[in-house]
């Protein structure tokens, strides 16, 4: 009987820690990812703050204060803002996506993930690199135009869907001339 | 028109092979378990190491225990095989106990395959009084990594250093490989060392099987005094008349003894009474 009581105590402890964890803070994306934005748009002189519908940053070739009528170079956005329900193996993978005004991706930056095998799936630069130059209308098929990583298929597939679906949402709403 | 909307055919097609092979593996594991077959158990081990291990790396990880704390799971329609696997792991544990540890986990299968290869004289039998305490270390490991995760939200640390399952992905740092080498070397002397004393996943399934286990292992009245199964059990899961459910991985060793009418005292006593005629095995159940 004492053994049962011990097990019950352990189970109770686990439940208690679960409640605690659920109440604890979630990990949020950086509000001002200056370095990441610069990587996506090396030629940009200025970036807007995060805003608009859907939420995005604008990249400008010249300071928009000097020339307010200039069109932006492109936009950048968090996958977690646009497709918040897209979960990998363990929670959302935070990816900042850059896209020019014709619907071509200028690159992606994976800033956070809690995937158990993140270190050989979405973290290596090889994963992010293959999205540079991809058109929003491309198939984004893992094993096709996106490399599959065996043993980490759930993580890779989720990150790819997150990039594809968020880019398509932004293209549909912000880039009327994206050639869809 | 909208390329973001996929049909069920596009969602299902890439998953069919995984679903089929997983179904075949589960069928093999269950047939080997329900028929108490030694040969099929070793076939299951080989399939677990080859397919679930090196091909898919689909092992239950302590990171799957972490997700109980934040209820973060992969998307259902894209991860059908994963959901099927998890359902089988939890379902089989509720019904029979740690079947997962005993024949599905690729690492457990690997160390159990060492059993018939390593000469018996190299084995170190751990005294029961030490084993009783060593069994509890895995609950400490579980509590430790869970606390570490809740504070840091770092999944990578625990899965690299508290469990060796990354080995099937072959992605390890020199330090990780060195630790694994020490663990496997120690397993030569103490059988299934990791599963019995250290594994936090085993600890979690042990808690579940301790509370549930619908179909329990049969015990005879004679088990109160007989020590045959207790001595045979390689998992230290039998203490006198009691089967310690949290330690038992349903390896079938004791159940095969129950059915052995030449060894199990239950039958020997029965035959003496009935005038030495063997009872058909079919009356066992």
Quick check: B79 and A154 in contact, CB under 8 A?
Answer: yes
Q: What is the average per-residue pLDDT within B122-126? A: 87
- pLDDT of res. B285: 47
| Chain centroid offset of residue B106 CA | 9
Question: Who wins on pLDDT, B165 or B3?
Answer: B165
Domain end position, chosen among B215, B241, B271: B215
- Identify whether A54 is preceded by a cis peptide bond (ω within 30 of 0): yes
- pLDDT of res. A25: 45
Domain end position, chosen among B185, B215, B245: B215
Residues B76 and B124 in one domain: yes
A115-168: pLDDT as tens digits: 888 888 999 999 999 999 999 999 999 989 999 888 888 999 999 999 999 999
Rounded mean pLDDT of chain B? Answer: 89
- pLDDT of res. A130: 95
Residues B145 and B168 in one domain: yes
Residues B152 and B245 in one domain: no
Cα–Cα distance measured from residue B116 to residue B135, given in angstroms and rounded to the nearest whole number: 23
Residues B233 and B137 in one domain: no
Token output for A44: 């940009």
Partner A contacted by B55 (CB < 8 A): yes
Does the model's ipTM exceed the 0.90 cut? no
Q: Which of B55, B73, B169 sits opposite A117 (nearest CB)?
A: B169
- The answer to whether residue A18 sits within a structural domain is no
Phi, psi dihedrals of residue B239, rounded to the nearest 5°: -125, 100
Question: Who wins on pLDDT, A176 or B106?
Answer: B106
- pLDDT of res. B90: 95
Residues B142 and B273 in one domain: no
- The answer to whether residue A20 sits within a structural domain is no
**A115 contacts on B by Cβ (under 8 Å):** 155
Q: What is the average per-residue pLDDT within B100-104? A: 95
Residues B210 and B248 in one domain: no
Query: Of all residues in chain A, what percent carry a pLDDT higher than 70?
Result: 90
Note down the domain range covering B236. Answer: 216-285
- The answer to whether residue A159 sits within a structural domain is yes
Q: What is the average per-residue pLDDT within B215-239? A: 89
Quick check: A79 and A56 in contact, CB under 8 A?
Answer: no
3-state percent breakdown (helix, strand, coil) of chain A, nearest 5: 35, 20, 45
- Residue B203 to residues A176, B108, B197, B208, B209: CA-CA distances in angstroms? 56, 14, 9, 9, 10
A14-31: pLDDT as tens digits: 777 666 655 544 557 777
- The answer to whether residue A24 sits within a structural domain is no
Q: What is the average per-residue pLDDT within B247-256? A: 93
The shortest C-alpha distance from A38 to chain B (Å) reads: 27
- pLDDT of res. A180: 45
- The answer to whether residue B3 sits within a structural domain is no
Are residues A17 and B56, on separate chains, in Cβ contact within 8 Å?
no
* pLDDT higher than 70, residue B277: no
Phi, psi dihedrals of residue B33, rounded to the nearest 5°: -75, -50
Residues B235 and B279 in one domain: yes
- The answer to whether residue B2 sits within a structural domain is no
- The answer to whether residue A16 sits within a structural domain is no
Residues B141 and B250 in one domain: no
Cα–Cα distance measured from residue A91 to residue B268, given in angstroms and rounded to the nearest whole number: 58
- pLDDT of res. B282: 55
- The answer to whether residue A166 sits within a structural domain is yes
Cα–Cα distance measured from residue B241 to residue B253, given in angstroms and rounded to the nearest whole number: 16
- The answer to whether residue B104 sits within a structural domain is yes
3-state percent breakdown (helix, strand, coil) of chain B, nearest 5: 65, 0, 30
If one counts the domains in chain A, the total is 1
Residue A8: closest C-alpha in chain B: B211
Q: What is the average per-residue pLDDT within A85-113? A: 93
Residues B55 and B187 in one domain: yes
Closest CA to B66 of B164, B180, B163: B163
Going B225 to B226 to B227 to B230, the CA torsion angle's sign is negative
Phi, psi dihedrals of residue A74, rounded to the nearest 5°: 180, -170
- The answer to whether residue A10 sits within a structural domain is no
Classify residue B239 by its DSSP letter: E
- Residue A17 to residues A24, A115, B92, B147, B156: CA-CA distances in angstroms? 10, 21, 25, 8, 20
Q: Which of A7, A11, A154 sits opposite B82 (nearest CB)?
A: A154
Are residues A164 and B82, on separate chains, in Cβ contact within 8 Å?
no
| Chain centroid offset of residue A67 CA | 30
Partner A contacted by B16 (CB < 8 A): no
- pLDDT of res. A179: 45
**B55 contacts on A by Cβ (under 8 Å):** 150
* pLDDT higher than 60, residue B2: no
* pLDDT higher than 90, residue B270: no
Q: What is the average per-residue pLDDT within B91-120? A: 94
Note down the domain range covering A113. Answer: 29-174
If one counts the domains in chain B, the total is 2
- The answer to whether residue A23 sits within a structural domain is no
Domain end position, chosen among B215, B242, B275: B215
Q: Which of A116, A142, A168 sits opposite B3 (nearest CB)?
A: A168
Residues B205 and B249 in one domain: no
**A137 contacts on B by Cβ (under 8 Å):** 3
Partner B contacted by A117 (CB < 8 A): yes
Cα–Cα distance measured from residue B47 to residue B104, given in angstroms and rounded to the nearest whole number: 9
Residues B226 and B116 in one domain: no
Predicted structure pTM score: 0.85
**B66 contacts on A by Cβ (under 8 Å):** 90
The shortest C-alpha distance from A42 to chain B (Å) reads: 29
Partner B contacted by A89 (CB < 8 A): yes
Residues B76 and B130 in one domain: yes
Cα–Cα distance measured from residue B25 to residue A139, given in angstroms and rounded to the nearest whole number: 32
Partner B contacted by A112 (CB < 8 A): no
């Amino acid at each position: 009987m004492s053994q049962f009581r011990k097990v019950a105590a352990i189970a109770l402890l686990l439940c208690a820690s679960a409640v605690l964890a659920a109440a604890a803070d979630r990990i949020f994306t950086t509000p001002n990812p200056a370095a990441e934005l610069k990587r996506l748009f090396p030629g940009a002189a200025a970036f807007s703050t995060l805003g608009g519908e859907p939420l995005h940053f604008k990249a400008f070739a010249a300071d928009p204060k000097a020339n307010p009528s200039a069109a932006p170079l492109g936009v950048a956005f968090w996958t977690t803002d646009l497709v918040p329900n897209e979960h990998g193996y363990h929670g959302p993978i935070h990816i900042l996506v850059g896209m020019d005004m014709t619907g071509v991706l200028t690159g992606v930056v994976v800033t956070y993930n809690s995937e158990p095998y993140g270190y050989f799936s979405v973290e290596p630069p090889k994963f992010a690199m293959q999205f540079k130059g991809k058109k929003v209308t491309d198939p984004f098929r893992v094993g096709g135009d996106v490399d599959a990583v065996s043993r980490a298929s759930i993580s890779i597939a989720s990150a790819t869907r997150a990039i594809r679906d968020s880019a398509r949402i932004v293209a549909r709403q912000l880039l009327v001339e994206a050639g869809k | 028109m909208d390329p973001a909307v996929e049909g069920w055919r596009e969602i299902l097609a890439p998953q069919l092979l995984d679903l089929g092979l997983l179904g075949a593996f589960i069928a093999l594991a269950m047939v080997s378990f329900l028929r108490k077959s030694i040969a099929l158990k070793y076939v299951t081990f080989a399939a677990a190491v080859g397919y679930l291990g090196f091909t898919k790396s689909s092992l239950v990880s302590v990171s799957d225990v972490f997700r109980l704390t934040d209820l973060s799971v992969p998307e259902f329609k894209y991860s059908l095989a994963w959901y099927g696997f998890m359902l089988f792991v939890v379902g089989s544990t509720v019904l029979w106990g740690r079947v997962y540890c005993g024949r599905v986990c690729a690492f457990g299968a690997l160390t159990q395959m060492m059993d018939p290869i390593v000469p018996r004289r190299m084995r170190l039998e751990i005294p029961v009084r030490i084993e009783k305490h060593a069994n509890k270390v895995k609950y400490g490991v579980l509590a430790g990594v869970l606390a570490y995760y809740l504070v840091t939200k770092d999944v990578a640390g625990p899965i690299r250093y508290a469990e060796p399952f990354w080995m099937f992905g072959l992605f390890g740092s020199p330090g990780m490989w060195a630790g694994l080498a020490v663990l496997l070397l120690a397993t030569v002397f103490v059988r299934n060392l990791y599963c019995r004393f250290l594994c936090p996943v085993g600890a979690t399934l042990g808690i579940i099987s301790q509370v549930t286990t619908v179909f329990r292992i049969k015990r005879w009245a004679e088990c109160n005094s007989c020590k045959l199964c207790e001595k045979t059990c390689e998992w230290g899961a039998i203490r006198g008349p009691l089967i310690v459910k949290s330690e038992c991985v349903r390896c079938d060793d004791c159940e095969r003894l129950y059915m052995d009418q030449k060894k199990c005292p239950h039958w020997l006593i029965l035959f003496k009474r009935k005038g030495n005629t063997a009872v058909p095995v079919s009356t066992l159940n």
